[in-house]
Amino acid sequence: MMSDIEKHRTPLLVQMDKLGKAIFLIILAMMAALFVFSLLFRDMPVSELMLSLISLAVASVPEGLPAIISIILSLGVQTMAKQQAIIRKLPTVETLGAMTVICSDKTGTLTMNEMTVKAVITADHIYRVDGDSYEPVGAIHKADDAIPITVTGGSLLEQYLRTIDLCNDSQLIKDESGFWKITGGPTEGALKVLAAKGQLPVVTTELRSKIPFDSQYKYMSTLYRIGDEERVLITGAPDVLFRLCQQQQTEHGLQPLDISWWEGKIEEYAREGLRMVAAAWKPALPGQTELTHQDLQQGVILLGIAGMMDPPRPEAITAIRDCLQAGIRVKMITGDHPQTAMSIGQMLGIGNADSAITGRELEVMDDHQLSDAAQAYDIFARTSPEDKFRLVQALQSKQEVVGMTGDGVNDAPALKRADVGIAMGIKGTEVTKEAADMVLTDDNFATIASAVREGRRVYDNLKKTILFIMPTNLAQGLLIIIALLAGNLIPLTPVLILWMNMATSATLSFGLAFEEGEKHHAPTAARSQTACDGWVRYLARGVCWLNDCDKCVCAGSLAAAAWLFP
């Protein structure tokens, strides 16, 4: 997929191309007209005339502008690196300031990435779990009773805890400083901590086979010998396990699966912002040593569901508010239950957090419907990495400048397609980082907001630089034109003009690269779409090619031109 993606040119490069072509055509037309005029009416020698026309071209072209732009962008890269944002591609600095939409992953970016199980739902009882962080300390008690319970062997709760403990790739360890931490994913780590809090009876176990977790099928399965019994254990998204299960485990035996009851409980606890992970099991076949997806299509028994909390980052709440004030919409894309996603979205202050759309709904939409949905919704739940890619395309079709965050290998195509691909530096894979334009060394959404603020400062300084350089070059060009029209010798040779540009405009404009950001300036969301009519207006109106032709302020020698070409 990545090999077929054509990276979009940044707004800065597109606008610089427009400016360069406009200057070239205007100078070419002026040189042709002055050549004919001077030969017919001033009878100038061809050698002097050609030297004068070359001087006109040298005077009118801002030779130092590309170098100055590179220096300003490089200074922006240096500043962002100090703010935990590593820029991998120079024009990304300016594109950050042009972003109109940020599509962000939830876990670890908008939230603390420190999941803690707060509730366990089984067919017989609902349990609450005390404790925070990864320290395996906290009581398990029934929801309607504050007295801690003891997990007994053979009980339904013991079966559930044993399943999430063994069907798990994470490890719970205590470092030299005495702090508990996990190796592996935060979701599996939270389940591991829950099992440790249950203080399960010791039994002998042996792993026979395993199906690792994959976002494509959203579950993990292991084949274990537990004591004298062979069992297939499964953990994953509740909606996926509901499709695999036909029965549910109770303290009194097996019963038919009551999907409506389970969905009601999920809806209830998802309103608290809890993320749901289900567990199930089935007896292994006699002599079974290998595990395949086909083995999970029948005979699976649901054990229960864990609800875990991953609290929002306080700094992310402030950053989202700043983005909204700056005209940037923030869209949250997650694999969680829609109600969980909406609850977290409301805590974060995301604009339209009262409704959500799921990946399954997106899959059946055509391109036009997807474009409308991508703009209408800010919460996208139960999504896959492929959905991210389609959402980027849909938003870009609506002329949005899109930033996309990701950490997994499957996120790489979406990051490469986005105008600004943002990879996670801590939990991100190398493939994702290679595809991205920017890498966050702290995996924090607030860093993105800081980078956008710096990108807008860089853009403002670029605009100021062009406002300074263009009148200087236009004044030199007008000097040559007036001399040719009067039939006089050129006042400045090409070498003198180049020296003046280097000694004045190029060096003096460096100071603008260090200008602080403006406290009050209009959002730059639509500037990449600005187009001006007529080549003359590119020069006559200074930087009208950048933004708001009708509000452009002309300075210095441009004042007369602005009066002639309103």
Report the first-to-last Cα separation within the chain, whole angstroms: 49
Token pair for 441: 């060394």
Q: Residue by residue, what is the 3-state secondary structure of 283-344?
A: ECCCCCCCCCHHHHCCCEEEEEEEEEECCECHHHHHHHHHHHHCCCEEEEECCCCHHHHHHH
Which three-class secondary structure state does DSSP give residue 87? strand
Residues forming a β-bridge with 528 = none
Question: Strands 300-309 and 245-250, how do they pair?
Answer: parallel
SS3 content of the chain, % helix, strand, coil (to 5): 45, 20, 35
Beta bridge partners of 530: none
Is the separation of the CB atoms in 378 and 103 below 8 Å? no
> Which residues are catalytic, by number?
105
Helix (H, G, I), strand (E, B), or coil: what is residue 390? helix
Q: CA torsion, points 357, 361, 367, 369, in degrees to nearest 10?
A: -60
Are the C-beta atoms of 285 and 250 separated by less than 8 Å?
Answer: no
Match 């395949």 to its residue by tokens: 292
Distances (CA, A) of 188 to 39, 195, 303, 426: 83, 11, 17, 18
Distance CA 130, CA 119 (A): 9
HSE-up of 250 (CA within 13 Å, CB side)? 10
Whether 167 and 233 have beta carbons less than 8 Å apart is answered as yes
Spatial separation of the C-alpha atoms in residues 513 and 457, rounded to whole Å: 9
Q: Which of 554, 545, 548 is nearest to 16 (CA)?
A: 545
Residues paired with residue 255 on neighbouring β-strands, in sequence order = 248
The residues, any chain, with a CB within 8 Å of residue 408's CB and separated by 6 or more, are: 215, 385, 428, 429, 432
Question: In this structure, what token pair is assigned to residue 552?
Answer: 């452009």
